[in-house]
Amino acid sequence: MNKNLFKIVFAALVLFIIINNIFFYPQNILSWDIFGYYLYLPFKFIYHNLSLSDDSIVYSIIAKYHNTDTFYQASKMPDGQYVMKYTMGLSFFYAPFFFIGHAIAYVFGYTCDGFSAPYQYAIFVGGMLYSIIGIWALLKVLFHFFSANIAAIVAFCIVFATNYIVHICMYGQNAMSQNFLFTTYALLVWLSILWHQTHKTKHALLLAVICGITILSRPSEIICLMIPVLWGVKSIASLIEKTKHLLKHKWQLIAFAFIIIAFGMMQFGYWKLFAGKFLFNSYGGNAGEGFEFKHPYIWEVLFSFRKGWLLYTPIMLFALAGFYFMYKQNRSIFYALFVYLILNIYIVSSWSCWWYAQSFSQRALIPSYPIMAIALGYFLTWISQQKTITKLIAYVAISVCVILNIFQTIQFHKGIISGDSMTKAYYCATFGKLSTDANLKKLLLVNRLFGGREVFSNKNDYSLRMFKKFDFEDVQNHDSTFYRSGRFAAKLDSINIYTPAVEAPYCEITEKDHAWIRITAYVYPTNDTLSAPFSLVVYFDHNNYAYKYFTYDSRMMKLELNKWNKIVFDYLSPEVRNKNDKLMLYFWNRGKGNVYIDDMQVEIFEEK
């Protein structure tokens, strides 16, 4: 290994990472998803209330530090306790710097609440250190397999020709899972190399810890075990031989398994303690966040204009080609890395929210970049052995990928490339541009809010059609005393609390990517709506789970008692997971008073 070049490349990349981190220092690092990953620490060691049973503490923190708009980072259980949405793995990474921040806050008189400035600075510095460790491990791997020049080129490509820097430094706040998992995968590969060379116990134990914390950080990363398990396997004979080697080191194998299980039991124990069962879906069965293993979005993840990995990170095309040359040149690592690649793309593509909102390219694939770097190294090794013209074409293409990535990173930073709403038309219209305008932005997908009620403000861009009408003449619980038209109206009381649900699959509503759904109805309240509330409920159903669930509550309707009142509610369709997902809407009487419903209609607004 060329130690001088190693040091030069390492120093250059570390300096670049530090400068980017300082330049893009976040206003509040402990916010959004990071807030959820981090909650384990302050609520275990400061508030001693891991169940968050007193949620006033959480909301007072949010009010003070503005960590999030809505507290989506935990799920409230029927007994009033909360269960964290995210597994606890990242809290292990944060922990040393949490305690450092706590000590600084105590000594220098800052508020010791887990979120004041010392904690934020400590987590920020810790994130940078993990990034630096990841770059060091990546370079160790690359310089092990390749010539110094190729190793250096690959390292620079990973940093400058991918979305690595965007989600590690610029908008990853140094504290998102991609930062830590990139580092663990680089270490995992390096430790796999060392253990298979030396069979030392310390390498086996370190490898187990890295695998354990990787899986605990994101359970789908259990596929990381494919790398050490299949490392060195290039045939059936080598698999048998490796099995014999493992049996020779059975105590290491037992210790490895024990460490992995120990990490898992911490999460299982937490779920058992606060959710009542060892295995718990902390995402609450939300159709907006879950796996669709039967219908993976592989094409969209890889090639779509919205968030296609190979469109926005085209350098990875060369890395994918590199697996062929890896197979030819070093089959002993090919199966380990290729099996991991296939499983990883499948799992990432199976996530229902495959576009990972407000991100550049596919951020979920960043942890795999140490593996992709090895494949890219084999491609470049092959190129280095070709004729001059082939080399020239290849290096020009790679240079274009680097320049394109840097330019598109600038576009993303300026808001020209949207984090979740790109379309082919908009991509082509803004390609190579450093500015955009309102007319071009009309080419983007419709803007959806993460929380709150969406306002339908551009009706002139849509055409209107009637979809369904309901006069409630045939419902079982009708009333002939109060009605607006016909002979009957639907009556809701303390026993009959729901109107019949309106059901319609998305494919009947529209063939487009979205529609505004307007619900109009007449309601006749007989009691004060504060003491006898009712709501219009609207959502979509996927596999018997509700998503984009909205209630239009009576207190918001400005109603007059003992009088027919017209109400109108506009609802923007969600990102449906399946065209057969059903729109569900109905009225729900949440109080004990009587309310009457009549003449409901559903209208559809589609883009012209």
CA distance 221 to 334: 19
CA distance 88 to 73: 12
R_g of the chain, CA atoms, integer Å = 28
Task: Please check whether residue 91 lies inside any domain of the structure.
Answer: yes
Q: Which of 399, 414, 429 lies at the terminal end of a domain, its last residue? A: 414
Same domain, 506 and 561: yes
| Beta-bridge partner residues of 595 | 492, 525
Same domain, 221 and 332: yes
Task: Give residue 479's pLDDT.
Answer: 61
Task: Please check whether residue 297 lies inside any domain of the structure.
Answer: yes
Q: How many residues does the chain have?
A: 608
Same domain, 378 and 309: yes
List the Cα angle 70/74/77 in 5-degree steps: 115
Q: Which of 352, 382, 414 lies at the terminal end of a domain, its last residue? A: 414
pLDDT in tens, 577-599: 889 999 999 999 999 899 999 99
CA distance 398 to 150: 13
Same domain, 402 and 487: no
Alpha helices in 146-200 (DSSP H): 148-160, 164-165, 177-198
Task: Please check whether residue 493 lies inside any domain of the structure.
Answer: yes
Check residue 594 and give left, alpha or beta (phi > 0: left; psi -120 to 50: alpha): beta
Task: Give residue 285's pLDDT.
Answer: 52
What backbone torsions phi and psi does residue 525 show, to the nearest 5 degrees?
-85, 140
CA dihedral 302, 304, 308, 312 (to 10 degrees): 130
Reference 28, options 120, 105, 101, 108; nearest CA is: 120
pLDDT < 50 stretches in the chain: none
Same domain, 344 and 479: no
Domain ranges, residue 383:
3-414
Q: Determine whether 246 is exposed, middle or buried from the number of CB atoms within 10 Å of its CB (0-12, 13-18, 19+).
A: middle
Task: Give residue 282's pLDDT.
Answer: 87
Element (H, E) at 22: helix 3-23
List the Cα angle 169/173/178 in 5-degree steps: 75
CA distance 330 to 333: 6
Q: Which of 356, 391, 414 lies at the terminal end of a domain, its last residue? A: 414
Place of tokens 């009708």: 478
Task: Please check whether residue 419 lies inside any domain of the structure.
Answer: no
Task: Give residue 417's pLDDT.
Answer: 97
Task: Please check whether residue 392 lies inside any domain of the structure.
Answer: yes
Element (H, E) at 377: helix 369-384
Task: Please check whether residue 372 lies inside any domain of the structure.
Answer: yes
Whole-Å CA distances, 516 to 341, 465, 577: 40, 11, 17
Alpha helices in 66-175 (DSSP H): 89-108, 117-145, 148-160, 164-165
Pairing type for strands 565-572 and 516-525 reads antiparallel
CB-based contact 131:183 (threshold 8 Å): yes
CB-based contact 256:204 (threshold 8 Å): yes
Reference 130, options 188, 202, 170, 178; nearest CA is: 178
Biggest alpha carbon distance in the chain?
A: 91
CA distance 574 to 420: 13
- Per DSSP, 365 falls in state G
Same domain, 377 and 483: no
Task: Please check whether residue 593 lies inside any domain of the structure.
Answer: yes
0.85 cut: is pTM over it?
yes
Pairing type for strands 82-84 and 462-470 reads unpaired
What type of residue sits at position 92?
F
Same domain, 186 and 274: yes
CB-based contact 488:562 (threshold 8 Å): no
Task: Please check whether residue 424 lies inside any domain of the structure.
Answer: no
Which residues, other chains included, contact 87 with Cβ-Cβ below 8 Å and sequence gap of 6+? 216, 217, 218, 219, 267, 282
Same domain, 123 and 248: yes
CA distance 340 to 256: 20
Same domain, 39 and 101: yes
Same domain, 55 and 129: yes
Structural domain total, the chain? 2
Same domain, 466 and 410: no
Q: Between helices 315-329 and 369-384, what is the axis angle to 10°?
A: 70
Same domain, 371 and 512: no
Residue by residue, DSSP assigns 118-130 as HHHHHHHHHHHHH
CA distance 230 to 38: 34
The pair of three-digit structure tokens given for residue 457, joined into one six-digit string: 């403000």
CB-based contact 52:81 (threshold 8 Å): yes
| Beta-bridge partner residues of 16 | none
Sign of the four-CA dihedral 461, 467, 471, 477: negative
**CATH code of the domain in which 595 resides:** 2.60.120.260
Q: How far is CA 452 from the centre of its chain?
A: 20
